[in-house]
Amino acid sequence: LDGAHALLFFKGFQCLQAHRVAHVLWKRNRKHLALAIQARCSEVFGMDIHPACVIGKGVMFDHGTGVVIGETATIGNECSILHGVTLGGTGKRGGKLRHPQVGNEVLIGAGASILGNVSIGNQARIGCGSVVMVNVPDDSTAVGIPAKIAKKYPSELSGL
């Protein structure tokens, strides 16, 4: 597949590019326009990504439908996020960070919800349908409701 194919047909890619424009507008205090882009993306693509959230390079939204990402969330580089994922707040805590902080090279399975100011470590994996409300260390897999650490991989094996 070439770049034109992704640009024309992959809504996860299209929504991410629209978010990047909205994010620049948000940082330049053009918040109404940024929110208008967010609202239109939500209608067209079925993905709701707040313009203030920070998303790294090489992030892939596979299918994208139902993805919700809150205002103070951050997503590191080279992450894969499947459909129906929520990076949301719990509504219990205010403060500067109310949403998850996701590290680099993280895989988040379909339908997973990561809630609150939690940290997801580098090269972690979150199982489909899991509800994560605790920190997940680097090189770990978290699954279940509520999510528990099912496996921790040694750092030297993480690139395999």
**What pLDDT, on the 0 to 100 scale, is given for residue 159?**
52
Q: How far apart are CA 140 and CA 120, in angstroms?
A: 9
Q: In what order do the strands lie in the sheet with 54-55?
A: 54-55, 74-75, 101-102, 119-120
SS3 state at 49: strand
**What pLDDT, on the 0 to 100 scale, is given for residue 160?**
45
**What pLDDT, on the 0 to 100 scale, is given for residue 63?**
86
Within 10 angstroms of residue 1's Cβ, the number of other Cβ atoms is 7
Contacts of 6 (CB under 8 A, 6+ apart): 13
Q: How far apart are CA 78 and CA 59, in angstroms?
A: 5
Q: Evaluate whether 65 touches 46 at the Cβ level (below 8 Å).
A: yes
**What pLDDT, on the 0 to 100 scale, is given for residue 47?**
96
**What pLDDT, on the 0 to 100 scale, is given for residue 66?**
94
Q: What is the pTM of this model?
A: 0.89
Residue pLDDT tens, the chain, 160 long: 566 776 777 888 999 999 999 999 999 999 999 999 999 999 999 999 999 999 999 999 998 899 999 999 999 999 999 999 999 998 776 678 899 999 999 999 999 999 999 999 999 999 999 999 999 999 999 999 999 998 776 655 545 4
